[in-house]
Chain A
Amino acid sequence: MDRKPGVYLCEGCGIAEAVSVDDLEQVASGELKVPACKRHAAFCSEEGVALIAKDIESGEVNQPIIVACSPRVMTDRFTFPDAQVIRANLREQVIWTQPPGEEDTQALAADNLRMAVAQAKNSDPPVPHGEGGASRKLLVVGGGVSGLTAAREAARMGVEVILVEKGSALGGWARKWSRTIPHRPPYRDPQPNGIGDLIAAVEADPAVTVMTGALVTRTAGGPGDFTVTLSQGGKETSERVGAIVVATGWRGYDIARHEYLGYGTSPDIVTDIEFEELLANGGIKRKSDGAVPSNLAFIIPGDSERMPYSSGVSDRVAIKQALQVIEAVPDAMVYVIYEDLRAHGTAEEFYRQGQEAGIIFQKGRVKSVAADLTVTLDDDLLGQEVPLSGLDMVVLSTGMVPNSTNVDLSPAEEGADQLADDIDPAAPVKVARGNGEDEAEAAETSGNGAAENGAAEEGGEPALPGGPILNLQYRQGPHLPILAHGFADSHFICFPYETRRSGIYTCGPVRRAMTIADSQQDAQGAVLKAIQAMRAADASTALHPRVGDLSFPEFGLDICTKCRRCTVECPFGAIDEQDDGYPVLNATRCRRCGTCMGACPVRTISFKNYSAQMVADMIKAVEVPDEFEEKPRILVFACENDAYPALDMAGINRHRISPYIRIVPVRCLGSVTMLWISTALECGYDGVMLMGCKTGDDYQCHFVKGSGIAQERMAKVGETLKSLALEEERVQVEEVSIADSGRVAELLNSFAGKIDEIGLNPFKGF
């Protein structure tokens, strides 16, 4: 399609008072020779919008370049179905940060216009990567409460489900148990867990195919088109599914690790899991002699190592079990010993029920549990050790360790050395440097934070116990990515289902310790996300955070050097390597961040509307004054989700920013290629700043690793600069949050000051 740009210069919101629109028109029509150029007092008005629409309808323009406010506003007005809208930000980032009528203000406005025209010249409307036909079948792994709920909820949405359970029966832990923590008013009494009805409903549902005693032995493809190999009774079958919900649940934390709790020294020291089975089977009896206990202590260790596996679930379980004891053995003395009793939310009422029923809640730190069941407390109240003797049963709260791997399997050969930084975000970011090098680096980092408690110190143990649940045939390895303590959870507070494997959603206790009611709600959420993933795959659009984006990276293999940087650095495992070493994109896994583009040393990866060439041309489009003018130019790459809005808000707050700054929004700092830096310096820019999101343990990058990868890359730019006899300080990376509207102005102004000190780029004018 021919590109037909048209420039629409808005005079509204004070633009015409602050800059000369005549001069801008001259730049558009004269200098840049854009055939159509119009101006209006307010393009966002009905009349203004109609003016643009008319040009589009007449076929005169298909790339309206709207030179007005920020692309973050007036999006509803400036959306034209048959056109590619390009926005030049003259309001928030020019007239609201600059004094009116100044030469430098005019120069900034003109450059923003030039950059927008350069963007248009390199931009085509994206075309879908696929032709529909995505599978609408859902694979659910795990047949406990979470998995059963997921299957049932998906079936209610008209989705066909395959439910795979590795055990011989459905129902998970709940099948062996009876009552659960109340989650409905009046929040007072243990209630039936409803597992029987749930199993029956799933088994009776014609949309659900249940496979027990089955495993997923291989998963290839991507959303809309996963090929999964299922193994049942030694027979393997292959299925095509559109999305996957992983609900593999939990296993008990090994409380014997904490010797002071005495587990194993007496048959009458049991875990809450063992006690739950006694309750369900109607027999609260001591294992030692079969007698009904009358003095019981439930111990909730405050051990911070164990707490992430507990989440307060075990605290509520202790209350529940204690209540059930009192119900069955009314004369029993029942203690609950705790440090901080986490009965949060409406569970306070359950706690109150426990108090009213006569449970003795004792705050204290357990020092030891002896084989004769004497519990010794570091009693906070008396300031001395207090033995609690005469107990005939002790119940230890354990904790829920996530089944983010299948512990029944031996560690996968591939899994053992898979890129640790990809399964564990706390691991340092690794950047491929060329053939082979990344492998060595990966081996050094495996085990970081990914190990279960203690496993890392013991040495020799794999980063993850057991084998992979899905055995993903991904360049990044077979495992689900995990967070600290093995939880296969999202790192994002706002987006709880965003794991790093597109179309694969976890729910229930594999994500974090949670109750039955919580798991059921979680399964509902995961199912909705899975359905969206299948829809998006069918429509060729991206998933979170670029929902709806049709663009995707294309690879020009003719000049690809098979360096594998793109396959290694993709935060989502979207790019695999073919047998011949060339990269191959799994488009439905791709989140469109452009990290691959930033990685590619030969610039052969590009999007239709976002490419190395496009941004390079935008950089070149800026008029850099010669050295005699003594006016520096500073280029800023700003993450479009956080830094760019912060820059807009600096304008909204009317903060003054150096007029020498030129801002290019980028999808993610991960997409910034070294080429852009060198282009800028060659063009005579005096400094370059990259503004991206926070990295590290509490990273805020929406593309997980993009910002960190950019920092790694730029750490090496110093050497290049030195070899050119340029100062290292000319290129800076800053972590900026969206709330930094005040700070971005300070950062830029102080960077401009620093450039002033260093002096102008000596290459200016060459």
Chain B
Amino acid sequence: MSEGRPRSQTIAVIGAGIAGVTAAVEVAETGYDVVLLEKGPSLGGRVTRLNRYFPKLCHPTCGLEINYRRIKENPRLKVITMAEVQGVSGSRGNYSLTVKTRPRYVNANCTACGACSEVAETEVTDPFNYGLSRVKAAYLPHEHAFPMRFVVAPEVIGTPEAEKIKAACKYGAVDLDEVEETFELSAGAVIWATGWRPYDAAKIEVYGYKDCPDIINNVELERLANHDGPTGGRILRPSDGEPAKKVAFIQCAGSRDINHLPYCSMICCLASLKHAAYLREQYADAEVDIYYIDIRAHDKMSAFYDRIRNDPQVNFIKSKPGHIVAGEDGRPLVCGERTIEREIYRNPYDLVVLATGMVPSLGANFTAPADLEKDEYGFVLPSVADDGGQFSAGVASGPIDVALSTQSATAAALKAIQAVRAG
């Protein structure tokens, strides 16, 4: 073995979204040690911010609750939040991860009693709601946060308010002296489960995302529909808080477009069908238009597609709109030509939802370690060589849905265990 370092049997999982959580739990339950590293203050990643999953329309926190219980009960699994991996060196059996932790300003003494939040006055942008709402500068990330521990926003550090927040805590949990730290973590194998971010809709300039508050993206709609979101679950127009009853979905907003995302993001068709279901459930008189190229109802989702397609208040318009603008009354106008009928349209809506795709979080600047192969989009796969010890799971490995993410995470757990067994 290189450099005579002891071989590590520990598996590091980077990212604690649904894929990372699944991979970590599956590793631990097979009897191997695992360290789960999460950049944010709590686990669950993107799925925690979804209202429901397609096609069952069940709630993501339900499965997470089970997974969190499995984490709590398994001494082999260690969770580190606020931790970002800066680099990985070494080879199978002997990796060294450079991990940087950001301060949470709240230590493990936190009981989540909320006294700090009561005295906080400043409000900061709530990252959990994609900036659609504001939150006190001492906050619990959300109601289902795991670990259930508060965060003090860096914005107030160094102000008298921070001292007030600190003084409010009876348990010595607020630690304003926390600083960024960097440490090395040894691991025998690594699973990248770094997930995705939504494609920046502002880059599709013709779709007016920046110009009109009632043109939003699909992850923002999830927050509007969610009971713990900024509107308490009511789908309202951001501009005036009125119910959004006539809504357009623009498929492939960025995806399948060589100027933006050359690949198909796989989930956006089903997501929009699901969103149509939200609207129809909420407003009996809702009208939904879905502008699409192909409806890609993969897998057994065709039954769900049929269900939505049979709803007379959901229309499918084959067309890629040319542009979306704010009309004279401020309402967004979707303009383009119907591919089939060759008709020019200029349709006003209460709300326009851009079905933006998924961009791998690792991104173009990420330099893949030797035993990973990166494709031109930034997705990573294990290299074809058999002696690697780094694997990928979930959307880090390609644009896939939740069921496929958990499948890939379980498979990655097996491969990582095989790697540490081989040493």
State the A residues within 8 Å of B (CB): 12-14, 41-42, 44-45, 69, 72-76, 153, 156-158, 184-187, 304, 307-308, 311-312, 338, 340-349, 352, 380-381, 383, 483-485, 487, 492-497, 512-513, 521-522, 524-525, 527-529, 531-532, 535, 544-545, 547-548, 641-642, 645, 649, 652-653, 694, 698, 700, 702, 737-743
Contacts and interface: CB of A to CB of B under 8 A. Distances in A.
Contact of B61 (A73, A528, A702, A739): A739
A9 to B, nearest CB: 15
B134 interface: no
Contact of B30 (A340, A496, A528): A528
Closest 3 CB pairs of A and B: A494-B63, A525-B410, A307-B302
Contacts of A531: 30
A157 B421 contact: yes
Contact of A497 (B69, B400, B410): B410
Contacts of B63: 492-495
A741 B60 CA distance: 14
Interface string B223-248: 00011100011000000000000000
Contacts, number: 228
A532 B111 contact: no
A738 to B, nearest CB: 5
13 contacts: A185-B375, A312-B298, A383-B341, A484-B303, A494-B402, A521-B407, A524-B414, A525-B408, A529-B26, A547-B29, A698-B58, A739-B228, A743-B227
A311 B413 contact: no
B399 A345 contact: yes
Contacts of A187: 375
Nearest to B316: A340
A340 B295 contact: yes
A741 B65 CA distance: 14
B385 interface: no
Contact of A69 (B62, B111, B170, B340): B111
A522 B373 contact: no
B39 interface: no
Interface of B: 18, 22, 26, 29-31, 51-53, 55-67, 69-70, 72-74, 109, 111-113, 115, 140, 143-144, 148, 170-171, 226-228, 232-233, 255-256, 262-266, 294-300, 302-303, 305-306, 318, 339-341, 373, 375-377, 379, 381, 384, 398-400, 402-403, 406-408, 410-411, 413-415, 417-418, 421
A342 B294 contact: yes
Contact of B296 (A73, A76, A342): A342
Contacts of A307: 297, 302
Contacts of B296: 312, 340-344
Given A73-B148, A156-B421, A547-B70, 5 more contacts: A157-B414, A184-B384, A304-B303, A308-B302, A493-B63
B408 A346 contact: no
Contacts of B408: 521, 525
Given A12-B170, A75-B73, A346-B379, A741 B227 contact: yes
A528 B26 contact: yes
Given A13-B113, A186-B376, A342-B297, A381 B340 contact: yes
A476 B302 CA distance: 30
Contacts of B170: 12, 41-42
B407 A496 contact: yes
Contact of A344 (B60, B266, B407): B266
B264 A343 contact: yes
Contact of B411 (A42, A528, A698): A528
B300 A512 contact: yes
A755 B418 CA distance: 59
Contact of A513 (B53, B148, B232, B299): B299
Which residue of A157, A158, A698, A738 has the most chain B CB atoms within 10 A of its CB atom?
A738
B403 A698 contact: no
Contact of A525 (B111, B300, B414, B418): B414
A649 B144 contact: yes
A601 B113 CA distance: 43
A346 B62 contact: no
Contacts of A739: 51-52, 59, 61-62, 226-228
Contacts of B53: 493
Contacts of A12: 111, 113, 170-171
Contact of A524 (B264, B399, B410): B410
Contacts of B403: 493, 496
A700 B263 contact: no
Contacts of A349: 262-263
A206 B383 CA distance: 26
A14 B113 contact: yes
Contacts of A308: 299-300, 302-303
